[in-house]
Protein backbone atom coordinates (compact mmCIF):
# COMPACT_ATOMS: atom_id res chain seq x y z
CA UNK A 1 0.00 0.00 0.00
CA UNK A 2 1.44 3.39 -0.98
CA UNK A 3 1.74 6.31 1.45
CA UNK A 4 -1.09 8.10 -0.42
CA UNK A 5 -3.39 5.08 -0.12
CA UNK A 6 -2.52 4.70 3.57
CA UNK A 7 -3.23 8.38 4.24
CA UNK A 8 -6.49 8.20 2.30
CA UNK A 9 -7.57 5.09 4.21
CA UNK A 10 -6.68 6.68 7.57
CA UNK A 11 -8.57 9.86 6.65
CA UNK A 12 -11.61 7.82 5.64
CA UNK A 13 -11.41 5.72 8.80
CA UNK A 14 -11.01 8.85 10.96
CA UNK A 15 -13.93 10.50 9.21
CA UNK A 16 -16.23 7.51 9.70
CA UNK A 17 -15.07 7.00 13.29
CA UNK A 18 -15.77 10.68 13.92
CA UNK A 19 -19.42 10.16 13.06
CA UNK A 20 -19.61 7.52 15.77
CA UNK A 21 -18.13 9.72 18.54
CA UNK A 22 -20.25 11.63 21.00
CA UNK A 23 -21.44 14.68 19.09
CA UNK A 24 -21.30 12.71 15.84
CA UNK A 25 -18.72 14.83 14.04
CA UNK A 26 -15.51 13.85 12.28
CA UNK A 27 -12.24 15.54 13.25
CA UNK A 28 -11.36 18.90 11.74
CA UNK A 29 -14.68 20.59 12.39
CA UNK A 30 -16.49 19.06 9.38
CA UNK A 31 -20.11 18.44 10.25
CA UNK A 32 -23.03 16.56 8.75
CA UNK A 33 -25.33 18.81 6.70
CA UNK A 34 -28.01 18.45 9.37
CA UNK A 35 -25.51 18.72 12.24
CA UNK A 36 -27.05 15.60 13.73
CA UNK A 37 -25.57 13.33 16.35
CA UNK A 38 -25.14 9.96 14.69
CA UNK A 39 -26.21 6.95 16.73
CA UNK A 40 -25.56 3.91 14.58
CA UNK A 41 -27.29 0.64 15.22
CA UNK A 42 -26.12 -2.80 14.27
CA UNK A 43 -28.23 -5.83 13.35
CA UNK A 44 -25.52 -8.48 12.96
CA UNK A 45 -27.63 -11.56 13.73
CA UNK A 46 -30.51 -10.42 11.57
CA UNK A 47 -28.24 -9.50 8.65
CA UNK A 48 -26.27 -12.76 8.94
CA UNK A 49 -29.50 -14.75 8.66
CA UNK A 50 -30.60 -12.66 5.66
CA UNK A 51 -27.22 -13.03 3.93
CA UNK A 52 -27.46 -16.82 4.29
CA UNK A 53 -30.67 -16.97 2.21
CA UNK A 54 -30.50 -18.10 -1.42
CA UNK A 55 -29.81 -15.25 -3.86
CA UNK A 56 -32.58 -14.15 -6.20
CA UNK A 57 -31.99 -14.57 -9.91
CA UNK A 58 -30.67 -11.63 -11.92
CA UNK A 59 -34.10 -11.14 -13.49
CA UNK A 60 -35.82 -11.16 -10.08
CA UNK A 61 -33.28 -8.72 -8.67
CA UNK A 62 -33.70 -6.31 -11.59
CA UNK A 63 -37.49 -6.39 -11.19
CA UNK A 64 -37.27 -5.69 -7.44
CA UNK A 65 -34.79 -2.84 -7.94
CA UNK A 66 -37.22 -1.26 -10.39
CA UNK A 67 -40.15 -1.57 -7.97
CA UNK A 68 -38.15 -0.09 -5.09
CA UNK A 69 -36.93 2.78 -7.29
CA UNK A 70 -40.57 3.61 -8.05
CA UNK A 71 -41.20 4.08 -4.33
CA UNK A 72 -39.14 7.28 -4.16
CA UNK A 73 -40.73 8.71 -7.28
CA UNK A 74 -44.25 7.90 -6.05
CA UNK A 75 -43.81 9.32 -2.54
CA UNK A 76 -41.77 12.36 -3.58
CA UNK A 77 -44.35 13.32 -6.22
CA UNK A 78 -47.47 12.35 -4.24
CA UNK A 79 -48.44 9.90 -7.00
CA UNK A 80 -50.92 7.33 -5.61
CA UNK A 81 -51.18 5.57 -8.98
CA UNK A 82 -47.42 5.01 -9.07
CA UNK A 83 -47.43 3.92 -5.40
CA UNK A 84 -49.92 1.18 -6.39
CA UNK A 85 -47.15 -0.23 -8.61
CA UNK A 86 -44.98 -0.65 -5.50
CA UNK A 87 -47.26 -2.10 -2.80
CA UNK A 88 -49.86 -4.87 -2.75
CA UNK A 89 -51.85 -2.62 -0.39
CA UNK A 90 -50.51 0.91 -0.97
CA UNK A 91 -50.46 3.30 2.00
CA UNK A 92 -52.38 6.57 1.73
CA UNK A 93 -50.35 9.61 0.79
CA UNK A 94 -50.78 12.44 3.28
CA UNK A 95 -50.17 15.27 0.81
CA UNK A 96 -47.47 16.89 2.97
CA UNK A 97 -44.24 18.02 1.33
CA UNK A 98 -42.00 15.00 1.26
CA UNK A 99 -38.23 14.76 1.43
CA UNK A 100 -36.36 13.09 -1.41
CA UNK A 101 -36.33 9.30 -0.96
CA UNK A 102 -33.50 7.13 -2.31
CA UNK A 103 -33.38 3.33 -2.06
CA UNK A 104 -29.80 2.05 -2.32
CA UNK A 105 -27.56 -0.92 -1.44
CA UNK A 106 -30.35 -3.42 -2.13
CA UNK A 107 -29.78 -7.16 -1.77
CA UNK A 108 -32.50 -9.53 -2.96
CA UNK A 109 -32.98 -13.07 -1.65
CA UNK A 110 -35.44 -15.88 -2.26
CA UNK A 111 -37.86 -16.70 0.56
CA UNK A 112 -40.83 -19.07 0.68
CA UNK A 113 -43.64 -17.53 -1.33
CA UNK A 114 -41.61 -14.69 -2.84
CA UNK A 115 -38.57 -12.49 -2.40
CA UNK A 116 -37.06 -10.37 0.35
CA UNK A 117 -35.02 -7.23 -0.21
CA UNK A 118 -32.75 -5.53 2.33
CA UNK A 119 -32.08 -1.92 1.34
CA UNK A 120 -30.91 1.37 2.73
CA UNK A 121 -33.49 4.15 2.49
CA UNK A 122 -31.98 7.63 2.51
CA UNK A 123 -34.17 10.72 2.83
CA UNK A 124 -33.06 14.27 2.20
CA UNK A 125 -35.33 17.05 3.46
CA UNK A 126 -35.67 20.47 1.89
CA UNK A 127 -33.41 21.96 4.56
CA UNK A 128 -30.66 19.50 3.58
CA UNK A 129 -30.99 17.27 6.63
CA UNK A 130 -30.42 13.60 5.92
CA UNK A 131 -31.73 10.44 7.59
CA UNK A 132 -31.35 6.79 6.71
CA UNK A 133 -32.88 3.47 7.65
CA UNK A 134 -32.50 -0.22 6.91
CA UNK A 135 -35.61 -1.48 5.14
CA UNK A 136 -36.56 -5.12 4.71
CA UNK A 137 -39.31 -5.65 2.14
CA UNK A 138 -41.12 -8.91 1.48
CA UNK A 139 -42.35 -9.02 -2.11
CA UNK A 140 -44.90 -11.22 -3.76
CA UNK A 141 -45.41 -11.77 -7.47
CA UNK A 142 -48.77 -10.53 -8.73
CA UNK A 143 -50.22 -10.64 -12.26
CA UNK A 144 -48.98 -7.03 -12.61
CA UNK A 145 -45.44 -7.87 -11.38
CA UNK A 146 -43.58 -7.87 -8.06
CA UNK A 147 -45.15 -5.84 -5.24
CA UNK A 148 -44.15 -5.13 -1.64
CA UNK A 149 -46.44 -7.10 0.68
CA UNK A 150 -44.70 -6.17 3.98
CA UNK A 151 -42.10 -3.60 4.99
CA UNK A 152 -40.02 -3.35 8.18
CA UNK A 153 -38.01 -0.17 8.79
CA UNK A 154 -35.13 0.32 11.24
CA UNK A 155 -33.89 3.93 11.48
CA UNK A 156 -30.10 4.14 11.54
CA UNK A 157 -29.92 7.41 13.50
CA UNK A 158 -32.10 6.78 16.49
CA UNK A 159 -35.85 6.48 16.47
CA UNK A 160 -38.08 3.51 17.18
CA UNK A 161 -36.90 0.21 15.77
CA UNK A 162 -39.28 -1.95 13.78
CA UNK A 163 -36.71 -4.75 13.56
CA UNK A 164 -34.83 -6.13 16.55
CA UNK A 165 -31.57 -7.98 16.12
CA UNK A 166 -32.27 -11.63 15.47
CA UNK A 167 -35.77 -11.05 14.07
CA UNK A 168 -36.54 -12.30 10.57
CA UNK A 169 -39.08 -9.86 9.12
CA UNK A 170 -39.02 -11.81 5.83
CA UNK A 171 -40.31 -15.02 7.44
Mind listing the pLDDT tens digit for each residue in 49-97?
999 999 999 999 999 999 999 999 998 888 999 999 999 999 888 766 5
Mean pLDDT across the stretch 34-48?
A: 66
pLDDT at 8: 32
Q: How far apart are CA 110 and CA 77, in angstroms?
A: 31
Strand 130-142 relative to strand 100-111, pairing:
unpaired
* Residue spans of beta strands (DSSP E) within the chain: 100-111, 114-124, 130-142, 145-155
Say if residues 128 and 34 touch (Cβ distance below 8 Å). Answer: yes
pLDDT at 97: 59
Q: What is the pLDDT of residues 124-168, one digit of tens each?
A: 888 888 888 899 999 999 999 999 999 998 888 766 677 888 888
Domains of the chain plus CATH, in order, are 42-156 (3.10.450.50)
Could you tell me the end-to-end alpha-carbon distance of the chain, in angstroms, rounded to an integer?
44
Please give the model's pTM, rounded to 2 decimal places. 0.74
Say if residues 125 and 137 touch (Cβ distance below 8 Å). Answer: no
pLDDT at 40: 57
Amino acid sequence: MSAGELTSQAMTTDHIAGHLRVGGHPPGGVRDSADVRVEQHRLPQTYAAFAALRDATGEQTAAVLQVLALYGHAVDNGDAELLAQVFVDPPALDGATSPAHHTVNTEVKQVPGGLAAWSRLITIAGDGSVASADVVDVLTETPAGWRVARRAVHPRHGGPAAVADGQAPWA
